[in-house]
Amino acid sequence: MAITRRWIAGAEVDTTGSRTLEFTSYDTDFLVSAFPKSGNYSYRCGGGSFEWGIKAIPATRQIRLGFHVYVNNVATSPLAELCSILAAASAELVLINCSGPALPGLFLRVGGSEKDRDNALFAPSAWYHIGLDVKIDSSAGWVKLYVDGTEKLTFAGNTGNSDIEAIRIGTNDAGYGTDWYFDDIYVDDLAGEGAAAVVPDLRFEFLTPDGNGNYADWDGSDGNQVDNFEQVDEQPHDSDTTYNEAQAADEQDSYTLTTHAVTAGWQINAVIPTAVAKKTNAGVGTLLQMFLRVGSDDDLGDAGEQALGTSYSLVWDRHIVAPDAGAWTQADLDALEVGIEGEGAFS
């Protein structure tokens, strides 16, 4: 039994292009907005029709989904979708609806039928943390929805007999007349875990390269290996305009980072190095490995060597302990380097 992170999304990596990197598919009106819960950006549904992003995940029967949502106003239509847990071909296993102005609450639907509701939940102009714990089982399944850590909606029993294969954020309805913002989205695979539990409220801050690190093996697009951080510090990323490139396996590059002051009473649960990367030869098995460095300690993390395609994609690796194997501290964050290592075959 293990809890495995399957998805993270917060619109930080590539501003307007984050949808392509963080979602499998999306409606053109599902937008990136400079109105965040954390970091600098969030996703926005603008009150029109069919404004959603979908993320495919490895098939499973048990997950938890967490995100922050800001309700600009209560919906003017009778019901507006907030999020969905999907099986193959976008079949809805679990659906969370937000109601209209007469009943500004939440509705839980399982297998197409309403199972629970809270008629007086959402107030406009406020951020809420939504947590959804779901187990799919034809007799012993459950769905529990938490708002700011408090259980609000629940169902136990037959939740279906199909694998969870995707998550939909935003509305699949034909108009709902309000603005919603989504931030700090994540999905954990809970296959084999026990009973439902409160879904943690996680915030994702985004650090960017700001200096040279300990390693400088990669070749910059400026023709040298000097100040390579300058080739990868832009936000959004600029495709093939500036980049760093490995020429052989085991070459490493690393960069110092901006930092973030951890709010009193909070802790660093994990640091997640990310890269926007591709390979240039489709017929060669080039791989990328992310790592972190603090002081003289390197940590290659758990994701290992990850395959690349010939189009840019988001590569990430979650590190729950610091490179010295201790708990993360503010000092670790302040001294952190992010690293990339070329692996596999090179043409």
Q: What is the pLDDT of residue 293?
A: 98
Taking the C-alpha atoms of residue 70 and residue 183, their distance in angstroms, rounded to an integer, is 9
Mean pLDDT per 10-residue section of the chain, whose length is 347 residues: 90 85 93 94 81 96 97 64 92 87 76 91 85 98 97 97 96 69 97 94 96 98 97 91 97 98 96 96 96 97 92 95 97 98 93
**Cβ neighbours of residue 47 under 8 Å, at least 6 residues apart?**
175, 176, 177, 178, 179
> Three-state DSSP class for 285?
coil
The distance of Cα 262 from the centroid of its chain, to the nearest Å, equals: 20
pTM confidence score? 0.95
The pLDDT score that the predictor gives to residue 264 is 94
Residue 64: predicted pLDDT: 98
3-state secondary structure of 292: strand
Q: Measuring CA to CA, which residue among 80, 97, 103, 105 is closest to residue 176? A: 80
Helices within the chain (DSSP H only)? 18-22, 330-334
User: How much is the pLDDT for 50?
Assistant: 78
Q: Which residue has the tokens 């758990």?
A: 302
pLDDT at 177: 60
